Structure formats: C-alpha cells, structure tokens
C-alpha cells in the first residue's frame, strides 16, 4: 500500500465500515442457506431411517445415524459462527493500527474487533480478533516502533496510525485519532456511561498494564492484587477468554472453574464470556466445593453467617478461634499433627492367615513402606503384598474373602478412620481443646470446614478429582491459608487468584497476596489505577480507609453528599427523596448498601413502596437485579452501581475495624454519585466536609 493512508478521512472510514458490514451480512445469509440445507438433510435422513427401518441392517442404520449426528454438529458449529457474525454486524471493530513490518514496503491497516473475520473473496482477514498476537500492539504501543510475537518469532516494525471507533448497531458514532495508549477520550466516554445489570466486556478500553495480565502465559499461579474499581474481575474474565482462544483444542470452557463469592455475583459476571464469544464457564462457591468433597456429611455455618455473627455479636472467644485458624502457622501445626498420626495411630497387632502368623513388626514396616500413599489408602496394597508373600513362601492360593478379611483387620489397627474424631484429637494434641467449638450439636463453625477436609484429603487423597485445567478464584482476601492449601490439593492446575486485601468483609480471617504466595507460590501482579468511581468518590473512600497504592482516574463528578437527620423517620424520608431523584436522573442502577442483613430488611420493609423497582438481595438470592437494590456490603462486593446510598452511617453502627472495612466496600461500589445518611450522630470514619 506504500505510504498512502488507507481510508484517510472519516467519510472514507464510514464508507469502508458499510462495505465491511455488507460482506458480513452476505456471509450471514450464506450461513442461513447452509443451515436450511442441513435441516432438509436431517429430515431426509430421519424419514429414510423411519421408512426403511425393517429393511436396513445394523451397519446401514449406524451409517445413517452417524450422518444425522454429523449434520447436527455441523449445524451447531454454523449457528455459533452466525452468532459471532451477528455481533460483528452490530459492532464490526473498535480499533485500528497501521503497521509496517521491518524490511517491508507495505503498510497494512489492521482493524481489531471482538472476533476475527476472514473475507474469502479477498483472501484476507479484514477484522482481527482482539486476542490475536498482532492485536496486542493496539494495547501496548504508541505511534512509532512496535513489535509482536508471531509464530516464527518477534516481528518488529512501525505503527504509523492508531484509531479508535465507537460503533453501535452498525452506526459509527465517532472516530478518534489515538496517538498514545488507549485513548483517554474513549476511556472517559466509556467510564462516564451508565452501569448495567451485567458486567460488560472492556475490549475497547483495555489498558497496557491490564493487557500484560490478560496475556500472561508464564505463571502457573498468577496472583492479582487490584484496588477497588481497577477492573480486576473483568480482566480475569478477559484472561479466561484469551486462554480459550490461544489454547483452542486443548482447553475448553468445561476445563475452567470460577470460584465466586455468591450466586448474585456469579449472575452479575455471567454476561462477559458469552459477549466475548465464549461459552459460559461453570462456577461454584467455596462452601459448595467443601460440602461436595466432604460428601455432604456435615452441617456447618456459612461464610455469610460467620460475617453476620461477627457484625451482630462480636464475641472475643469466637474472634480468637477464627484468627487462629486463619493464620499461616495453623497450616504448619496441622501438618505436624498429620506426621504424629502417621507415627502413632497405626497400632499393629499379630494376625493369622490360615493359621500362619503375621507378626505386628512386619505390618508396621509394611505400613511405613507405603509412606507415599495417603494412610487410609495403604490397607489394600498391604493386604495384596502379604498374600503375595504367603503364596511365594507356602504356595497357598488365598481367595478374595481372605484378602478382604485381612484388609479389614489391618484397617481396624488404624485409629484414624474417622475425620471428625481426628479433628477433635488435633486440638487435644495441641493442648487447646477450647479452640474447637461446634455451633449446635455437631454443626461446625465455618473456620473448621477447610481444616477438616484437609485432614480427610491427607488421610485418603481426593477420590473424585475434578477435571479442571484452570482455576479462577475471585475475592482472594476472603479465603484463608488452609483454604488455599485445600484448593491446591484439589486442583493441580494453573490458577488465577484475584482480589484486594483492603476489601475484606472479615478482617479477622483476611489474607494478603503475600500470604497466598507463601502457600501457592506464583507471581504477583498489581492493578493500582481505579476506574470505577469519580475522583471525588475515590478521594472520599480513601479518607475512610487509605491505600497508598491507589491511583484515581481524573474523571470528575459531584462530591459525596452526607446527611445527618434528627430521627430515623427523617432519614428514611431522605432516602426516599434520593431514590425519586435517581428515578428522574436517567441513571440505570442504584445500590442501597447496609452493614447487616437485618438493617437491609428493616429499610426495605419501610421504603419498598417508594418505587416498584426496589429489590432486596440476600445471601439466598440467586440473580442480580437491575434498578434499585437494597443489600449488604458483603453481598455488594464486586458489584458496581451508578449511584449508591449508605444508610445508618452512625457512630454506633460503624465503630470498629470490621465496620470501617464494610463502609469502605459500600462507598467504593459507586460510579457517579454517593450519598450517606445517618440519624443523630455520624460515624467518625466519615470524612468531615
């Protein structure tokens, strides 16, 4: 193309976009024809099978059924392709770079969109997938020298033009020349727009530091510490989409698991991967996972119930137990106890097999020789060895019953066959029996569930391994070292762990990225720039709980409004007034975020008649709801809203460090506007105007 700029003017760009959309539409029509033809073939195969079933032999029937299966699979693949084409017709691309490879004369315009599109008539890619190696230059380089990793190695060259577009519903709303990193104008426009009832993809505004995380291939475990509003969850999901693109064929959506904090959050993020053209990925909560691996055998307190108990009734002994079980040292003590079990819980006795004595010393030696196996997995190979030895020495053939009897005799010599009893023994061994205190009867405290499972895994291994190739853990600060040790035993695969130490709903069991790294190893990467909230809201939240690493983006808006009223009735009236103002504002989502579930329910009962769009979200809710949501800081973590109200912001309600954390989480959910209301006396954590 030489040095002449392809589609130099905006008019030429608009004309080119229309021609690209015309090609996409034509392709979509061709796909429709193929689908219709497949449907006709399917009908013919089925009719043929039906009409001739008595005359066809087994091989012929099998051949026809194979044809049916192929036609169905072909139709499904074409339907997937059509879905992508339809998305491209709506937004064909969002960026462009003009790149000239070193030593070449031609400059190539590279248009970048959600997916690639190959024009068979021109024999070229007219749209490149944002995940393709060549597209990384759009995110990583300014005008001038650039390079990307091609299959044959690093290809250097020059970027002579960089553009960004906002295209919606096949209409180009604007085009911006972008000489630096992802244009601030586009970023500001995206950040100023209203929030949605689902998390959106951010492919058009991925920043350089975010792109490095998305495309990080080297780390077995990537620990991502991101400040509030840094987009860490979105980045992690885009990272998943990148992995699925790069390793297509060897890793699919079925091989990835997301460990998410609750069903509401899982629903909130459920849109991102389908938007990026990938299938939805299975998610589960920590409790669900622990419960499954403990064979649903125990009743236990949930994490939500633990946090609620700490907020409603902060008992010192309870806090002490939680702190102890959330320490890194606790792991070492558990491991020492497992060594103690190995050395003291197998009490061998002399046994006889068909009157032939087997001395206890021999059994002890056999038990120790299988030290690589979990203790409860040793009984079967021990019995097999003994029977083989007997056969060699006496030529006796022993039956299955005798082998099983021997195995059961050996099993009875081991005093560690009950997980619960072993766990109780652990605290006796420690000399701290008071540290194990079931809630009611045998209902476990939440802090006891992971260590109990760890003992079970160390005793018998994981008998039902989940076929996962990549594990994504969100809200990393809310999991303890013992929970990470359990995850590592259950998932021997690559991991992406993300969160923010400052956003813990339970500071007594909060874990930092450094502690996680101690358990899992891996690489730590940080996201320090906060994109969600306006500068004023971020500055306000920083005064509640400061973080030296946070860098607020220069997007300005209204200062947070703080209202202290004489009575609760007046406070509720003020909340209703703010809601009505929000309804008329054109903003889409509002979060009314309370400290406890009790407070959320109390407020909901009083103000639900203000609007038909008010919804209460609890720990039992399964879906995120658009409009006006009343919930707790615990449930709101990870979510964002155009406007946020924090009611009951009094000196008594927000008084300790756990309360401060809750208040910080609540305030940092707001994108554009933040209101705090209280009765009589404001919390001392709230910055003075």
pLDDT digits (tens, 9 = 90+) for 431-487: 999 999 998 777 999 999 999 999 999 999 998 888 999 999 999 999 999 999 999
Burial, 119: exposed, middle or buried (Cβ in 10 Å; 0-12, 13-18, 19+)?
A: middle
Tokens for 35? Answer: 């689908």
3-state secondary structure at position 647: coil
Q: How confident is the model at residue 50, as a pLDDT?
A: 64
Token pair, residue 338, equals 């497992």
Q: Report the distance separating Cα 132 and Cα 115, nearest Å.
A: 9
Q: Which of 489, 495, 492, 505 is nearest to 290 (CA)?
A: 489
Q: What is the pTM of this model?
A: 0.89
Cα end-to-end span (Å), the chain: 60
What is the DSSP pairing of strand 117-119 with strand 551-552? unpaired
Average pLDDT, the chain: 90
pLDDT band at residue 197 under the 50/70/90 scheme: low
**pLDDT higher for 303 or 403?**
303
Q: Which two tokens stand for residue 278?
A: 């990938």
The pLDDT of residue 49 is: 63
* For residue 180, pLDDT beyond 60: no
Residue 39 above 80 pLDDT? Answer: no
Estimate to the nearest angstrom the gap between the alpha carbon of 518 and the chain centroid: 21
What span, in angstroms and rounded, lies between the C-alpha atoms of 648 and 627? 21
Q: Flag the least confident range among 184-193, 293-302, 403-412, 656-665.
A: 184-193
Grade residue 288 by pLDDT with cuts at 50, 70 and 90: very high
- pLDDT at 1 (0 to 100): 46
- Give the mean model confidence (pLDDT) for residues 524-535: 93
Q: What span, in angstroms and rounded, lies between the C-alpha atoms of 132 and 114?
A: 10
pLDDT category at 183 given cuts 50, 70, 90 is very low
Please compute the mean of the pLDDT values over residues 9-35 and round it to a whole number.
Answer: 91
For 554-575, what is the mean pLDDT?
95
Predicted pLDDT at 586? 84
**What is the structure's pLDDT at 179?**
62
pLDDT over threshold 50, residue 682: yes
What is the percentage of the chain residues whose pLDDT exceeds 70? Answer: 91
Instruction: Say if residue 55's pLDDT is above 80.
Output: no
Asked if residues 202 and 594 have their Cβ atoms less than 8 Å apart, the reply is no
* Residue 571, pLDDT score: 96
- pLDDT, tens digit (0-9, with 9 covering 90-100), for 468-483: 999 999 999 999 999 9
Q: What are the structure tokens assigned to 503, written together?
A: 């956003």
List C-alpha distances in Å: 246 to 66, 121, 130, 259: 31, 26, 12, 22
Q: Which helix (H) or strand (E) holds 484?
A: helix 481-490
**How do strand 153-168 and strand 171-177 relate by DSSP bridges?**
antiparallel
User: Mind listing the pLDDT tens digit for each residue in 585-639?
Assistant: 988 999 999 999 999 999 999 999 998 889 999 999 888 888 899 999 999 998 9
Q: Percent of the chain, pLDDT > 90? A: 68
SS3 290: helix
Q: How many CA atoms lie within 13 A of 53 on its CB side?
A: 6
pLDDT, average across residues 346-362: 90
**Per-residue pLDDT at 58 exceeds 80:** no
pLDDT on residue 17: 96
pLDDT in tens, 261-279: 888 888 888 888 888 888 8
Higher pLDDT among residues 188 and 377, named by residue? 377
d(CA 631, CA 617): 5
Binned at pLDDT 50, 70 and 90, residue 42 comes out as: low
φ, ψ of residue 59 in degrees (nearest 5) = -65, -40
Tally of CB atoms within 10 A around 61: 13
């Amino acid at each position: 193309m030489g040095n002449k700029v392809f589609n130099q003017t905006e008019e030429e760009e608009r004309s080119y976009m229309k021609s690209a959309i015309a090609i996409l539409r034509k392709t979509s029509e061709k796909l429709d024809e193929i689908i219709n033809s497949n449907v006709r073939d399917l009908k013919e195969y089925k009719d043929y099978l039906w009409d001739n079933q008595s005359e066809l032999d087994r091989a012929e029937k099998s051949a026809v059924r194979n044809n049916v299966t192929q036609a169905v699979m072909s139709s499904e693949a074409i339907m997937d392709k059509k879905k992508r084409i339809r998305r491209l017709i709506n937004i064909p691309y969002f960026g462009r770079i003009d790149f000239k490879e070193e030593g070449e004369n031609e400059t190539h315009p590279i248009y970048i969109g959600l997916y690639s599109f190959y024009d068979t008539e021109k024999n070229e890619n007219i749209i490149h997938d944002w995940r393709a190696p060549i597209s990384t230059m759009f995110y990583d380089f300014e005008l001038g020298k650039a390079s990307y990793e091609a299959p044959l190695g690093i290809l250097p060259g020059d970027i002579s033009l960089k553009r960004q577009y906002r295209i919606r519903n096949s209409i180009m709303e604007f085009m911006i020349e972008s000489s630096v990193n992802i244009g601030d104008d586009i970023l500001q426009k995206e950040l100023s727009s209203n929030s949605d009832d689902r998390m959106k993809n951010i492919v058009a505004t991925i920043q350089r530091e975010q792109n490095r995380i998305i495309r990080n291939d080297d780390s077995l475990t990537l620990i991502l510490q991101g400040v509030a509003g840094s987009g860490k969850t979105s980045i992690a999901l885009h990272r998943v989409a990148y992995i699925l693109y790069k390793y297509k064929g060897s890793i699919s959506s079925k091989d990835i698991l997301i460990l998410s904090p609750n069903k509401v959050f899982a629903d909130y993020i459920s849109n991102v991967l389908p938007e990026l053209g990938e299938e939805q990925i299975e998610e589960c909560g920590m409790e669900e996972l622990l419960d499954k691996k403990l064979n649903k055998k125990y009743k236990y307190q949930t994490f939500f119930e633990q946090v609620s108990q700490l907020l409603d009734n902060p008992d010192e002994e309870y806090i002490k137990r939680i702190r102890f079980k959330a320490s890194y040292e606790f792991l070492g003590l558990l491991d020492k106890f497992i060594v103690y079990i190995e050395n003291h819980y197998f009490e061998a006795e002399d046994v006889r097999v068909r009157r032939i004595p087997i001395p206890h010393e021999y059994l002890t030696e056999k038990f120790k020789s299988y030290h690589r196996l979990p203790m409860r997995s040793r009984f079967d190979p021990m019995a097999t060895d003994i029977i083989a030895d007997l056969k060699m020495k006496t030529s006796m053939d022993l039956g299955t019953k005798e082998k099983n009897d021997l195995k059961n005799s050996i099993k009875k010599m081991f005093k560690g066959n009950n997980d619960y009893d072993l766990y109780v023994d652990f605290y006796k061994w420690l000399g701290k029996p008071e540290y194990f205190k079931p809630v009611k009867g045998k209902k476990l405290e939440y802090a006891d569930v992971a260590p109990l499972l760890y003992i079970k895994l160390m005793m018998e291994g994981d008998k039902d391994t989940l076929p996962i190739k990549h594990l994504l853990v969100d809200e990393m600060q809310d999991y303890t070292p013992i929970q990470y040790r359990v995850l590592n035993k259950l998932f021997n695969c690559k991991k992406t762990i993300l969160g923010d130490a400052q956003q813990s709903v339970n500071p007594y069991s909060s874990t930092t990225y450094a502690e996680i790294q101690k358990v899992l190893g891996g690489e730590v990467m940080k996201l320090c720039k906060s994109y969600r909230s306006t500068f004023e809201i971020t500055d306000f939240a920083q005064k509640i709980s400061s973080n030296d690493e946070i860098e607020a983006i220069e997007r300005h808006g209204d200062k947070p409004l703080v209202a202290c009223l004489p009575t609760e009735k007046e406070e509720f009236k003020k909340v209703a007034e703010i809601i009505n103002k929000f309804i008329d504002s054109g903003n889409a989502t509002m979060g009314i975020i309370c400290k406890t579930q009790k407070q959320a329910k109390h407020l909901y009962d009083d103000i639900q008649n203000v609007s038909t769009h008010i919804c209460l979200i609890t720990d039992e809710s399964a879906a995120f709801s658009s409009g006006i949501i009343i919930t707790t800081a615990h449930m709101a973590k990870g979510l964002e809203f155009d406007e946020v109200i924090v009611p009951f912001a009094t000196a008594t309600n927000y008084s300790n460090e756990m309360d401060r954390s809750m208040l910080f989480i609540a305030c940092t959910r707001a994108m554009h506007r933040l209101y705090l209301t209280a009765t009589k006396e404001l919390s001392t954590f709230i910055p003075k105007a």
